[in-house]
Amino acid sequence: MTSIPALPLAGIRVLEFTHMVMGPTCGMILADLGAEVIKIEPPGGDKTRQLPGLGIGFFRSFNRNKKSVVLDITSEEGRATATELAGQCDVVLENFRPGLMEKLGLDYATLCKRYPRLIYVTHKGFLPGPYENRLALDEVVQMMGGLSYMTGPVGRPLRAGTSVNDIMGGMFGAIGVLAALRERETTGRGQEVQSALFENCVFLSAQHMQQFLMTGEPPPPMPSRVSAWSVYDVFTLAEGAQLFIGAVSDKQFATLCRVLQRPDLLDVPAYRDNAARVAVRPQLLAQLGEILAQHQVEALAPRLEAAGIPYAPIVRPEQLVQDPHLKASGGLVPMQTEDGGSTEVVLLPLMMGGRRPGVRSPLPKAGEHTEEVLAMLASRRQAA
């Protein structure tokens, strides 16, 4: 029998005080990579479990492979248990409002005095500075960090269509954990890691900031951008189907003209190279739009793929549930839910040694592992 190698974070124990998206994402990444992640929920369970509307999928998306322990950390007994649990862990995660963990005596400054090897990750709205005590949401920092301005048309800032900063903030928190674990091997000491929504969003906007610093010209929002490529847009084909097509080199433009059976476009002086085509881009796009409106997307897409032209249909999230590549590549897999049912979940977008870190356990019910974890704690207490 071939043995399955241990996951890279096997043996690492994580204590998670989180809700919503940012902190749970960090914990899920560590759990998927093999860490034992103990999620602390309040009596009645994490309120994220019950969110309606756009938040309905948060809990199931970001809390797999974890154990659930219900503790009332607002009580003296609950805080004492949580503190003792922290001492049995390598990492603590939290993403509550500024000052709450300090008020409860569960902050890094308090815990590190007893547990100097502890790595403590605080997921915040802002890193230390004038804004650090503000409450933040993904949408708030998208407005503050340049992303909404760059996404929407002029005068209509528009947030991105998903929780980009929450999710990436959790990713940076996990990266910080990996670095801190490595450093602890040398120093023997833990440290506090801080990951913040605002700074995350500014990092996403960094290329536009650099564009301004290099040119002195404020970058326009993406819908009004001056494209570096002549053919790089969404086109409407027959029967209203939409397709993004990008031809980012002279070779690709020539190939596109042949695919569209319009080699005559290559003889137009204004289309002689990319720079010339960019100068007359509106004219070119209008002409290509008229041509493409005569093509069926089902017939054109395979020809574009065979010719090596970048293209993409405009896919909705509900269509991804049946995406053949996601299914074939193992990126969409079943997970047993807390109510005994089953759902499809998206795995981490990476492979390690030819395998995808996957689902190892059902989504926990609130408090499902309380007895198990507290019994372990009591056993260690007796052994000591």
Spell out where 134-291 has E strands: 192-196, 231-236, 242-247
Which CATH code of 3.40.50.620, 3.30.70.2860, 3.40.50.10540, 2.40.170.20 fits the domain covering 13-205+322-383?
A: 3.40.50.10540
CA distance 273 to 126: 46
| 3 has pLDDT over 60 | no
Query: pLDDT tens digits for 59-90?
Result: 999 999 999 999 999 999 999 999 999 999 99
| 1 has pLDDT over 70 | no
Angstrom distances, CA of residue 278 to CA of 263, 265, 281: 19, 15, 5
383, 360, 270: which is closest to 67 by C-alpha? 360
- Which residue in 32, 107, 166, 323 is the catalytic one? 166
DSSP states along 6-65: PPTTTT-EEEEE--TTHHHHHHHHHHHTT-EEEEEE-TT--GGGG--GGGTTHHHHH-TT
Domain parsing of the chain, residue ranges: 13-205+322-383, 227-314
Quick one: average pLDDT of 20-34?
Answer: 98
pLDDT at 366: 98
pLDDT at 45: 98
CATH number of this structure's domain 227-314: 3.30.1540.10
CA distance 95 to 196: 10
Is 90 labeled as catalytic in the residue annotation? Answer: no
Angle between the N-to-C axes of helices 164-187 and 22-32, in degrees from 0 to 180, rounded to the nearest 10: 50
Query: pLDDT tens digits for 153-205?
Result: 999 999 999 999 999 999 999 999 999 999 999 999 999 999 999 999 999 99
pLDDT at 4: 64
